[in-house]
Chain A
Amino acid sequence: MTDAGRTGPGGSDSEWDVIVIGGGPSGLSAATRLRALGVPRVAVLEREVEAGGVPRHCGHSPYGLREFGRLMGGRSYAACLVEAAQAAGAEVLTQHTVVSFGPGPDPVLIVTTPSGATLMTARRVVLATGIRETSRAARLLGGDRPLGVMSTGALQAVVYLQRMTPFRRPVVLGTELVSFSALLTCRHAGARPRAMIEPNDGLTARGPARLLPLALGIPLHLGTDIAAIHGATRVEGVTLRDRDGATRTLDCDGAVITGRFTPEAALARMAGWTVDPGTEGPRIDGFGRSLDHPAYFATGNLRRPVETAGWCWGEGQATAAAVAADLERGLPPPDDAVPLTVAGDPLRYVVPQAIHPTAETPDLMPEVAQLRLSRPARGTLIAEQDGRTLWSRRLDSRPERRITVPLRPMIEAVEPGGPMTFRLREAP
C-alpha cells in the first residue's frame, strides 16, 4: 500500500480506509499501528474536545512503561498516545460524535460535529469506545435524586479538568481500584470522604491501595450497602443497610458511586447487535471482528470490563494487525468461526466469543482468551467441544481477577462445527 490515496487536512474528510471510534488508549494504539502497517487513510473520531480517553482525567495510576518505556501520569500518557497517532499519520478528529451506524455491508457512520451532521464512510471500522461506571439509576439505587451523586469518572472530570469540587464530605460506594482513585480525587479537591461502603465482606481491589482508607483515616463499612440517598437539593445523607437488614443513616453531602464498569456499547446496541450478556460488549472472534457485522472490529475495554490502559493498548496493536490483514488479503470468513461459550455459573464470560480453527493466520490470533468469574471459586477449568476435553487446568480465583487461558493449544485441537465451551468443575 502507498500513501497515494491518503487525504489529510484540506482533503476529503469523509472517506477513509479505517475509522477508529474512540480516542483512548486502545483506539489511538490501533490507529498508530494501522498507519505503521501502511494503511493509508486512518481517522480517529473522538467525541471529547481532546483525545486521550480516561487517562486524561485519571491523576494517579502509573502509565506508559510498556508503550513508551517510562512511567508517567495519566495526562502525559494520554498526550503521548495522541502525539504518536498523529506522528504516524492518523487524523485525530476531536468533537466528532458518532450518532449511529448506517445500514448495509459497507460501513457508513452518521457523525455530528460542531459544524453539524455528516456522513463518513470507511472500509473497516474499529470500535474503541471504552467503558463507563454503572450509574446510580442502572443499579436501581433508591432514594431522592439530589445534586452530588456521581461516578468516579464524572468526579474526576469535575476535579481535574474543571478544578472544581461538587462536595466536601461524600461517601464512596465500592472498593474496586477505581474506588480508591475516587478517594484520592476527593482528597485532591479538598474533600474528605465520610466513609467507604462495600456490600461484600472484603475489599474488591488487591494491592497497596487497600491501605488507603486506613492511611487517610476514612471509616470502612464492609458488608454494607447504600439502601437510599437522601436530600432535597443536595445530598444530605445516606441510609446504610447491613447484611442482616439493619439500617442506619449517615450524614454526608455527596455520594460517589464507583466501579461496576460496563462497556460503552450503545452504538452496537442501537444497531441491533446482540451484546454478550456476560461482558455487555459486542461479541467478537479472535481477530476482534464483530460477529454481527464483519466490517466492524472491537478493541479495548469495549470488549469487556475492565482492563488497564496498557492492556487495552496491546489489544489496539493486535486489532490493527488483523484489520490491516483483512484489508490487504482478507481474513478467514466469519462463518468458519467456532463459538466460544461458558457453561454458566460461576463462569461469567469468555472473550473472544469465537475462534477460527485454522493455522492460516496464527500470528493474528490472540494469545489468550479472557474469562471472568461471577463469584470466588476453585476447581478444574475445562475447555470441551462435543463432550471432548480439549484442555484443562486447575483454577482458584475471584471475580475481580483477570483469568487468561492460552488459545494456541485450543486452536490446534478444536474442530470446525459445534461450540467450544468452558466449564468449571468445582472442587468440593
Chain B
Amino acid sequence: MTSNGLYDVAVIGAGVVGCAMARRFTLDGARVLVLERAPDILDGASKGNSGILHTGFDAPPDTLEQACIAAGHQEYLKIRDRLGLPLRTTGAMVVAWTEAEAARLPALMEQAHRNGVTDVRPLDRAEILERAPHINPAFHGGFLVPRESVIDPWAAPTGYLLQAIANGAHVDRNAPVQGGAFDGETWRLDLPGRSVRTRSVINCAGLYGDHVDQLLLGAPGFEIRPRKGQFVVFDKAAARLLPTILLPVPSPTTKGVVVCPTAYGNILVGPTAEEQESRADASVDGATLAMLRETAARLVPALAGQPITATYAGIRPATEEKGYRITPYPDRRYISVGGIRSTGLTAALGIARHVAGLHRACGTDWAPLAAPGWPAAPRLSETDPRDWQDRDNGGIVCHCELVTRREIEAALGGPLPARSLGGLKRRTRATMGRCQGFYCSGALAEITAGHFAAPLADPAEDRHD
C-alpha cells in the first residue's frame, strides 16, 4: 500500500482467477490488493476441480475461452519451473464407447487442429491398449491429445499469489466487499468495519461475481447459475491402473465424466454436472458417488475393487450463457471477470493477461517490475521431491500422504498462513489420504491449536468416570 492508502488495483476474490490476476498486475507494476471473503484463499469454485491442464483442443473455436486456455497453458509451462509447480504430461485419450461416438471422432480432431492443437492424432486399438493396459477393451476407437497434463490445482494458484505477495501485493482474507462507490477517479470499497481505496477494481468473485457487480455497478452483467460437480478419488494403489487421462466423447450438453490420474498419485473420476440454486452447497450424495465409482469401473474394470480415498464436490460458476463473461467498464475503472468454469485452472494465467490488456483502456500508468522475485510454491506432487525425503523434516504427521511436521508448520506460517483445516489440507494434503484423519487427527489438533478460527478440537473438560 502507498502512504496515502491508495491501491492501483483491487482484485476481488482469491480463487484461481484472482490469484493469477493479482500476480499479473503485480508483475506489471501495479500496487495490488486482494480481497477474499472466506477465511482462506481458494475456498469457492477453485476448491474442487479435476486438476487437468487442458490444451483447449475441445474448446469452442475462435472464442475468448479458447484463446485464454491456449495462452494460459503456454504461460504455465513457461513459469512452472521457477515457481516449483508440477507438470505430469500424461496425455489424454478421447475414447469412443459406441459406434455413434466413434463417428464423431473425426470432427473433434478437426476442431482440435482448428484450435491449434495440431499434435492430436487418431489411435489404433493396439496403441490405446498400450497407453491404458487396463482399459475396458470394448471401445470403438479414440484419439490422442499428447499435451493434456495433470497439475496441482492448489499449488498453482497458491504459487501465483505467493509471487504476487513477494513482489508487493497485499492479501486480506475474511474481507467480504459489502459495498462501494466510484468517485470518478478512485473506488471506495466497504469491508466489515472499514473501507479501502483503489483506483481500479477487477471482479474475480467467481460464484458471487454477479453479486459484486450488483453491489458496485448497480446491476449484474451476468447471472450465476451454479453447477455442481461431484468427484470420487481412488487410493494411490490404483494409480498404476491408469497412467493417462481418459476423456469421453462430449455430448452437445456436457463434457462428460473424466477418469484421470492426479498430481498426487491418485485416480479421480468425475465430475457430474448438476444445476442448483445454491452457491455454497458442495454436498455429495451416496447414489451419485456410487454411480461415479461404477462409471470408473466400467471404463477401467480393475478399478472395481480399489478402495475409495476421498469424495468431494466443486461448484462451477456457470452463467446463463456458455462462454466467459469478461466485461470492461473503462469509465468506471472496473473489469468484471465472470463465468469462468472448469477451464479456469488452465486459462487463469491467460485470462489475467487478457484483462491486463483490457485495463489499458482505463489508463495503465505503471511499469513492469524489472527483476521480480520467484518464491517457490509448496511441492506436493508425487513426481517431485518431497519433504519426507529431506533431513530435519520433523517426522511424518500424516502417514497416508507423507506430510511432515515441517511442511505443516510452514503452511501455518509464512506470508499466507493457512487459516482453516481446509486451507491446511490444500497446502499440505494432510488428512486427504486413505485414512481421512484416522491416524493424524490427534496430532493435527495439537499442532494447529490456536491457528484456526474453527479449531479441530477444544481442550476437554476432563471427566474420569
In the assembled complex, 24 residue pairs joining A and B whose CB atoms fall closer than 8 Å, in A order, are A95-B395, A95-B396, A99-B388, A112-B389, A116-B390, A117-B389, A132-B438, A132-B439, A137-B436, A140-B232, A140-B290, A142-B285, A150-B437, A150-B441, A158-B441, A163-B459, A164-B460, A166-B441, A190-B461, A228-B283, A232-B280, A264-B435, A270-B236, A280-B307
**Given contacts A116-B390, A150-B441, A164-B445, are A227 and B399 in contact (CB under 8 A)?**
no
Q: How far is the CA of A393 from the CA of B399 in the complex (A)?
A: 44
Q: How far is the CA of A145 from the CA of B439 in the complex (A)?
A: 18
Those 6 A-B pairs whose CB atoms lie nearest each other, nearest first: A157-B442, A269-B237, A190-B461, A154-B441, A135-B436, A164-B457
**B215 contacts A by Cβ under 8 Å:** no
**B78 contacts A by Cβ under 8 Å:** no
Whether A137 and B311, one on each chain, are in contact in the complex, defined by CB atoms closer than 8 angstroms, is yes
Q: How far is the CA of A159 from the CA of B446 in the complex (A)?
A: 11
**B194 contacts A by Cβ under 8 Å:** no
**A147 contacts B by Cβ under 8 Å:** yes
Whether B237 and A270, one on each chain, are in contact in the complex, defined by CB atoms closer than 8 angstroms, is yes
Q: How far is the CA of A234 from the CA of B458 in the complex (A)?
A: 13
Q: How far is the CA of A34 from the CA of B121 in the complex (A)?
A: 59
CB within 8 Å of B: which A86-129 residues = 95, 97, 99, 112-117
Contact residues in B for A132 (Cβ distance below 8 Å): 435, 438-439
Q: How far is the CA of A272 from the CA of B133 in the complex (A)?
A: 15
Q: Give a binary string over B424-459; 1 marks a CB under 8 Å from any A CB, 0 the rest.
A: 000000000011111101110110010000101111
**B282 contacts A by Cβ under 8 Å:** yes
Contact residues in A for B457 (Cβ distance below 8 Å): 158, 162, 164-166
Whether A272 and B445, one on each chain, are in contact in the complex, defined by CB atoms closer than 8 angstroms, is no
A97-B388, A112-B389 known, 12 other contacts, Cβ within 8 Å? A97-B396, A97-B399, A117-B390, A137-B233, A137-B310, A137-B311, A150-B441, A153-B439, A162-B446, A163-B460, A164-B445, A164-B457
Contact residues in B for A117 (Cβ distance below 8 Å): 388-390
Whether B463 and A266, one on each chain, are in contact in the complex, defined by CB atoms closer than 8 angstroms, is no
Contact residues in A for B396 (Cβ distance below 8 Å): 47, 95, 97, 112
In the complex, how many angstroms separate the beta carbon of A425 from the nearest chain B beta carbon?
A: 28
Q: How far is the CA of A138 from the CA of B309 in the complex (A)?
A: 6
Contact residues in A for B391 (Cβ distance below 8 Å): 115-116
**B166 contacts A by Cβ under 8 Å:** no
Binding site for B on A (CB under 8 A): 47-49, 57, 95, 97, 99, 112-117, 132-133, 135-138, 140-145, 147, 150-151, 153-159, 161-166, 187-190, 227-228, 230, 232-234, 262, 264, 266, 269-270, 272, 277, 280
Number of interface residues of B (CB under 8 A): 60
Majority-rule SS of A interface residues: mixed
Choose one: B308, B449, B464, B465; the contact of A140 (CB below 8 Å): B308
**B312 contacts A by Cβ under 8 Å:** yes
**B286 contacts A by Cβ under 8 Å:** yes
**B45 contacts A by Cβ under 8 Å:** no
**B400 contacts A by Cβ under 8 Å:** yes
In the complex, how many angstroms separate the beta carbon of A258 from the nearest chain B beta carbon?
A: 11
**B360 contacts A by Cβ under 8 Å:** no
Contact residues in A for B399 (Cβ distance below 8 Å): 47, 97
**Given contacts A117-B389, A145-B312, are A140 and B289 in contact (CB under 8 A)?**
yes
Whether A114 and B308, one on each chain, are in contact in the complex, defined by CB atoms closer than 8 angstroms, is no
Whether A158 and B456, one on each chain, are in contact in the complex, defined by CB atoms closer than 8 angstroms, is yes
Contact residues in A for B439 (Cβ distance below 8 Å): 48, 132, 153-154, 157
Q: How far is the CA of A219 from the CA of B307 in the complex (A)?
A: 33
Whether B441 and A157, one on each chain, are in contact in the complex, defined by CB atoms closer than 8 angstroms, is yes
In the complex, how many angstroms separate the beta carbon of A256 from the nearest chain B beta carbon?
A: 12
Contact residues in A for B402 (Cβ distance below 8 Å): 97, 99, 112
Contact residues in B for A280 (Cβ distance below 8 Å): 307
**B373 contacts A by Cβ under 8 Å:** no
Contact residues in A for B388 (Cβ distance below 8 Å): 97, 99, 112, 116-117
Choose one: A159, A227, A232; the contact of B460 (CB below 8 Å): A159
Contact residues in A for B281 (Cβ distance below 8 Å): 144
Choose one: A147, A228, A234; the contact of B285 (CB below 8 Å): A228
**B136 contacts A by Cβ under 8 Å:** no
- Nearest CB in chain B to that of A166: its residue: B457
